[in-house]
Structure 1
């Protein structure tokens, strides 16, 4: 039995892709979960039923646009009211609006910053008082290799993901004397819906640049989250790269 049995976690953007894999992995460890989604209620409710039936945990789907402070607060307060505790926060919600800088609109810039970076502040700010009550508070921010190495046509996305890394380091310093650790994970190219839309020729070009010559799987990111949550008590302020050796 995992020592996380009975803990409570929030996963933002948790209804599909990497987020859904994180939900399944934490549920397997006995964590009760609040699955945040913005639009896809069917996917979120299906995942709730799946983890409850397969792993015997409690789960709750909560619609919230975490780029809005009011929604982020409501998400956190719903989690606390429903489970009376909060131990784990995984900031995973994210979008892309890729454009070369000359074509990038103010709207595209602002939306990506709001969803990918501002949400991390809003949700964490509301959740922190409850996380500090936990014997083992954990914050894991899902950043990206693009936040480390940059990406063509991704100035908005890169800025947001790099901001998450800086946020992680600074908050980790502030909380180092408490039981709360703060870390980020920087995935490389992962087999998700986002990557599925890339033309096959481009996919092969990307793959040829990866030393391990393959894309990562969402479950591999979830395992990294599980490691930090379960065994990362002496790890804080770090960025864990899961990228097949693409960025070292």
Structure 2
């Protein structure tokens, strides 16, 4: 698929990896539909894409709400007249041990609310956006690409019962959708980033950040543009489908 003039939707497109991917693809001529919950961040990202010489629109949407996702993707299809790709990138963290014990006493357990919030956004949100993107692509007769952003935490990372479970689910959807949607000319791929220099990673405790970096064989965190270039590679290679690409500096959890 040629990125030039393609319409690509990006969830979580107002900041972090989403914005980095938007700017990278805008510079390659893609037209962007940026989806996020924070209007101010969205407007800044739209401005950055336009400065790169591309068309971009902002859509405020909670990806965990079915009716909002349906309305948003219908609006994207109406506004642009086509939809050629979606990057399911929106995600949140609510890290913590399932059971935390101090001096022999249970002091905290992961709450159902902490579990559910992450599952709702990171897994259900991917399902809803992937479904609606595919719906519009098929309805419009557009061949297209769905990219799910997972994480190497999908293998299971201590303190991330909710996040690891969601990202494992996101990864499992890739081959399922690739098989189901191939007949419509829709390819599906996933990217599992390692630790990347984003606001989310920057929120980690300094000692945890330092310890994590020391374990990465390449000796550094990844850069957002390195994930963006992986996404562009997927869009441009028409024989890639049903697989995960790990971009993690050789770190394995």
The more displaced of 28-37 and 156-165 is: 28-37
* Aligned pair partner of 2:204 in 178, 198, 203: 198
Q: 1:169 aligns with which of 167, 175, 189?
A: 175
In structure 2, the partner of 1:21 is: 20
Matches within 5 A, 1:75-86: 75-86=72-83
Query: C-alpha distance in 2, partners of 1:5/1:81?
Result: 20
Q: Which residue of 2 aligns with 1:214?
A: 220
> Structure 2 unaligned runs (5+)?
100-108
Q: Deviations over 1:78-122 (max 9, x none)?
A: 101100100001100000101111211111111100000001111
Deviation at 1:124, TM superposition (A): 1.5
**Corresponding position of 1:150:** 156
Larger radius of gyration: 2
Taking structure 1 as the reference length, the TM-score comes to 0.94
Alpha-carbon distance in 2 for matches of 1:184, 1:71: 24
State the SS of the aligned residue for 1:34: strand
Q: Which runs of 4+ in 1 moved over 3 A?
A: 132-136
2:98 corresponds to: 101
Compute the RMSD of aligned alpha carbons.
1.5
**1:246 aligned residue:** 251
* 2:58 aligned with 1:61: yes
Bigger Cα displacement from structure 2, 132-141 vs 40-49: 132-141
Corresponding residue SS for 1:95 = coil
- Contact 1:137 1:180 (8 Å CA) reproduced: yes
In the alignment, is the contact (CA less than 8 A) between 2:93 and 2:118 conserved in 1? Answer: yes
Distance 1:115 1:3 in 2: 30
Residues 135 and 69 of structure 1, relative CA distance in 2, 3 Å threshold: closer
- Tell whether the 8 Å contact from 1:15 to 1:36 is kept in structure 2 after alignment: yes
TM-score (ref. length: structure 2): 0.92
What are structure 1's unaligned runs of at least 5 residues?
Answer: none
The residue that corresponds to 2:120 in the other structure is 114
Q: Match of 2:240?
A: 235
The secondary structure found in structure 2 opposite 1:229 is helix
